[in-house]
């Protein structure tokens, strides 16, 4: 009888300990060139996303790390953390070119490596952030385990081509372009300030960076993972770095999302070819292409506007979690 009670007590203690473990909490971190600080916390419920190396999230054009409780990657850092990942959300200038943003991200990655003692990091980027992460991977390839681009502007954007052409029209285009860039630069200087940093903004330089002509030059200088054909897959591994990508071709995906109409409008610039509103389907390809036709637009890819995405498609949060598990399974 004593043995029965002892066994029951041991089983109860084990269950209690397991419950405490599953209820333990962990925090993700937000970084700028000034350093990293603890941000939101989540109850850790498992190890599905527990990669060997920390996950570093990199935002795109007009991006930020967090404004108050609003993450650029809406709900994604917390979900990854809850599933066992060590997550660092970075912030670079909302608007600038690769020579500026790439160096800012490189500085933060070096800080993250020093803080964690990790040998490498897994970089996951949205939109223009794809270029920043590819720049970092080329600069310190032995410190980067993987680069994953989400709706990445890896081969330029027809929207950038159109807008660049308009603002370079002599007279009205030049003047209106100067006024627009001044407004955008001023607004996002403020956005960056309230989200924890003070970066110089240059929206014209950012726009030109994403034109097809500029991206041809970029890809010649940073070819790792880039497909050799216009709509193919690139090398899965280059310089010891693993490359992945996914993207969508949706526009009007949720009637409640105010940004959907804008994505449908800008999507017209692609002349009927598949796109997410800002990036062409084939232009998003890099390394192993996981999928390029999710029913998601460019904003949906990061689970915005506030989670208003298609209810008939896999959640963007799930895609990030699944990618973390893919990296974990690959020993990364």
CA distance 145 to 53: 8
DSSP result, 105-123 = HHHHHHHHHHHH--S-EEE
DSSP for 193-256, written as a single string: HHTT------HHHHHHHTSHHHHHHHHHHS-TT--SSTTS---SEETTEEEEEEEE--SS--TT
Q: 100 in helix, strand or coil? A: helix
55-58 vs 87-90, strand pairing mode? parallel
Question: Active site residue: 257, 298, 304, 315, which one?
Answer: 298
Query: Angle of helix 212-221 relative to helix 158-167, nearest 10 degrees?
Result: 120
Q: Which candidate in 71, 276, 292, 300 is catalytic?
A: 276
Q: With contact defined as beta carbons under 8 Å apart, do 327 and 145 qualify? A: yes
CA distances from 122 to 55, 88, 136, 331 (A): 5, 10, 11, 11
**Distance separating alpha carbons of residues 123 and 31, to the nearest angstrom:** 14
Residue 289 pairs in a beta bridge with: 245
Within the chain, residue ranges assigned H as helices are: 2-22, 76-82, 98-116, 129-139, 158-167, 172-194, 203-209, 212-221, 260-266, 316-329
Contact 56, 109 (CB under 8 A): yes
User: 298 catalytic, yes or no?
Assistant: yes
**Active site amino acids:** 127, 276, 298
């Amino acid at each position: 009888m004593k043995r029965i009670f002892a066994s029951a007590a041991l089983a109860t203690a084990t269950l209690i300990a397991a419950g405490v473990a599953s209820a333990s909490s962990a925090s993700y971190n937000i970084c700028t060139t000034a350093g990293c600080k603890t941000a939101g916390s989540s109850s850790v419920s498992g190890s599905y996303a527990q990669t060997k190396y920390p996950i570093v999230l990199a935002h795109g054009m007009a991006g930020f790390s967090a404004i108050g409780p609003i993450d650029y990657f809406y709900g994604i850092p917390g979900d990854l953390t809850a599933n066992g990942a060590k997550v660092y959300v970075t912030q670079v200038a909302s608007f600038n070119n690769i020579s500026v943003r790439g160096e800012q991200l490189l500085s933060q990655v070096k800080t993250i490596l020093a803080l964690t003692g990790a040998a490498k990091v897994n970089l996951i980027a949205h939109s223009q952030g794809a270029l920043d992460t590819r720049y970092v991977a080329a600069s310190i390839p032995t410190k980067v385990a993987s680069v994953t681009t989400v709706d990445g502007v890896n081969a330029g954007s027809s929207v950038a081509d159109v807008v660049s052409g308009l603002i370079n029209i002599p007279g009205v285009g030049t003047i209106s372009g100067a006024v627009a860039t001044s407004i955008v630069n001023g607004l996002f200087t403020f956005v960056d300030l309230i989200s924890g940093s003070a970066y110089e903004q240059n929206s014209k330089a950012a726009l030109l960076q994403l034109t097809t002509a500029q991206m041809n030059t970029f890809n010649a200088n940073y070819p790792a993972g880039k497909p050799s054909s216009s709509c193919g897959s690139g090398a899965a591994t280059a310089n010891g770095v693993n490359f992945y990508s996914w993207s969508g071709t949706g526009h009007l995906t949720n009637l409640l999302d105010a940004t959907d109409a804008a994505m449908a409008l800008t999507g017209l610039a692609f002349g009927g070819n598949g796109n997410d509103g800002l990036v062409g389907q084939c232009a998003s390809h890099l390394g192993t292409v996981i999928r390029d036709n999710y029913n998601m637009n460019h904003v949906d890819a990061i689970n915005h506007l506030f989670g208003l995405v298609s209810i008939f498609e896999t959640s963007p949060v799930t895609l990030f979690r699944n990618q973390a598990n893919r990296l974990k399974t690959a020993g990364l």
